[in-house]
């Protein structure tokens, strides 16, 4: 079956067509546009659709073709899930976090899992070996840290990381020899140390822990963390596809 998968994040929106656990087409933009979505859907025979929304809530009835909207599911804490949730406020839980841990479980059927989604925010989430989600941590992403340094000081510039700085083509300095390099060294290394600290803490509790990285900055961290990991940019998409299959079965 061919599915339309929508991941509406804080700063980017992604749409994918997944058929038989394979991504057939992927589209990413600042926000989902009906015209582009219509073009994407017209190229495929879509049986059902699912969305995870963290950013602004779209009017899916308006932007989805009618035949697809009739087989549409928006992920919520009330959705049928292949995992249990041990979280005090499930109604406030970002559904992208749940989709990511489900995607990691699909890729790794056993072991406790730590899932780091490095985007606008960095989220760290724990799924134990019994498929119970325990929550984790939310911290500012690197871009947010850079913006904060500029906005909350009088003289520090707004620094943007280059593609080479993000994709591992150049070494992140530990000692800045200019104001820009000092900001890069502080923000990048602080983010690495934060995630590394969470990994080491959870490994003490779960020695067989496996690490999954996703999000826009996943490649940056994959090359710098001192722990074997799986970097999977489409982790949320595959998690959503798995959840959609489960909810389609339950609706029949």
- Tell me which residues are annotated as active site: 96
Helix (H, G, I), strand (E, B) or coil at 163: helix
With beta carbons less than 8 A apart as the criterion, state whether 62 and 228 touch.
no
List, as one string, the DSSP characters of 64-131: S-HHHHTTEEE--TTS--SSEE--S-GGGS-HHHHHHHHHHHHHSSSS-EEEEEESSEEEEEEE-TTS
What is the H or E stretch that residue 41 is in? Answer: helix 34-42
Q: What is the DSSP letter of 171?
A: P
Q: Give residue 79's Cα distance to chain centre.
A: 19
């Amino acid at each position: 079956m061919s599915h339309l998968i929508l991941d509406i994040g804080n700063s980017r929106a992604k749409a994918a067509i997944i058929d038989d656990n394979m991504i057939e087409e992927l589209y990413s933009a600042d926000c989902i546009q009906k015209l582009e979505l219509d073009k994407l859907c017209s190229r495929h025979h879509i049986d059902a659709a699912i969305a995870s929304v963290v950013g602004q809530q779209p009017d899916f009835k308006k932007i989805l073709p009618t035949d697809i909207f009739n087989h549409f599911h928006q992920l919520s804490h009330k959705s049928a899930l292949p995992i249990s949730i041990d979280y005090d406020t499930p109604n406030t839980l970002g559904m992208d976090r749940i989709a990511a841990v489900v995607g990691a479980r699909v890729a790794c059927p056993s072991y406790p899992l730590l899932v780091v989604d490095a985007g606008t925010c960095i989220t760290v989430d724990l799924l134990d070996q019994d498929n119970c989600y325990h929550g984790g941590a939310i911290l500012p992403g690197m871009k947010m840290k850079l913006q904060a340094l500029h906005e909350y000081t009088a003289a520090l510039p707004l620094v943007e990381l280059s593609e080479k700085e993000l994709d591992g083509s150049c070494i992140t300095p530990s000692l800045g020899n200019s104001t820009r390099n000092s900001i890069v060294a502080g923000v990048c290394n602080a983010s690495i140390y934060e995630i590394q600290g969470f990994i080491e803490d959870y490994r003490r509790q779960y020695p067989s822990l496996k690490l999954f990285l996703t999000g826009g900055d996943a490649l940056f961290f994959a090359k710098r963390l001192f722990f074997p990991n799986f970097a999977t940019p489409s982790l949320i998409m595959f998690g959503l596809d798995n959840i959609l299959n489960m909810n389609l079965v339950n609706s029949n």
